[in-house]
Amino acid sequence: MKRQAARDDAPKYMDELEWTQENAEEVVDTHPDRLDEPIEYTFPDGPGRIFTVSMGDLFHREVPESFIRQVIAIARQLPEHEFIFLTKRPERAAAVDVAWPENALVGASVGSGPGGEFPDTTHRIESLRGVDARRWVSFEPLIEPIGEVDLTHLDWAVVGGENASDDVRRDMDHAWAREILEQCRRDGVPFHFKQSSAATNESGTRFTVKNEDYGIFEQRKIREYPPVPEVTKRARE
């Protein structure tokens, strides 16, 4: 799959090169000139959540730690916003020598469990525990059962199916999502069902869950969020 350019002024290689481990040094790039964008931008609906580096991984090995610290410094400078970070490399996020601000929410991507067709990614949850910040797990795209996992001391769990065309999409069974919901309820973690598997983003937001009172399955929208941190509440007053 080719890397998609997020902006019209993106470097040409973003449309021409395939992502591989071998060419990471060539395709991974940083943009220090854009660090001030959250400061300068006027948010039409007021303070909210900012998904940081949503089309990349800030904690890739080719990203200098000095740049990572600069990004985190912007989050600290804007306490009225919540900055959401997501990585497939939580062990590096844990190793960065930085004091995480209270308004940061650092997450790991986990889409497959042990004993399945795809590599087990649940080990990222334990690596994430080394990050001294609020922590969350993105079970997205959920492409097979995760199994039993320890979600204690985590602040949020998001579940979603894969967005892709019918010929390549790996569909999510809602039973897999229900298993995660049950574990979130057990461990006291807010649960956010983002979407079902579909060809387009956000096309299936309702979740098939069991009504325990009547013993039937029904469609519900479950979109919970973690509590807003105190520093953010004060900044918004």
* Cβ-based neighbour number of residue 64 at 10 Å: 9
Q: What is the mean pLDDT of residues 54-62?
A: 91
For residue range 140-176, list pLDDT tens digits in order: 999 999 999 999 999 999 999 988 788 888 988 989 9
Q: What is the pLDDT of residue 38?
A: 94
Q: Is 60 exceeded by the pLDDT of residue 218?
A: yes
N- to C-terminal Cα distance for the chain?
45
Average pLDDT, the chain: 86
Q: What is the pLDDT of residue 6?
A: 41
Q: Give dist(CA 106, CA 93) in Å, integer.
A: 8
pTM of the model: 0.84
Per-residue pLDDT band at 10 (split at 50, 70, 90): very low
Q: Is 90 exceeded by the pLDDT of residue 127?
A: yes
Q: What is the pLDDT of residue 196?
A: 84
Q: Is 60 exceeded by the pLDDT of residue 3?
A: no
Residue 210 near residue 178, CB atoms below 8 Å: yes
Rg (CA), the chain: 19
Residue 66 near residue 96, CB atoms below 8 Å: no
Q: What is the CATH number assigned to the segment(s) 32-236?
A: 3.80.30
Q: Who contacts 48 (Cβ-Cβ below 8 Å, separation ≥6)?
A: 81, 82
| Of the listed ranges 19-28, 105-114, 134-143, 157-166, the one predicted with least confidence | 19-28
Q: What is the pLDDT of residue 197?
A: 81
Q: Give dist(CA 174, CA 161) in Å, integer.
A: 9
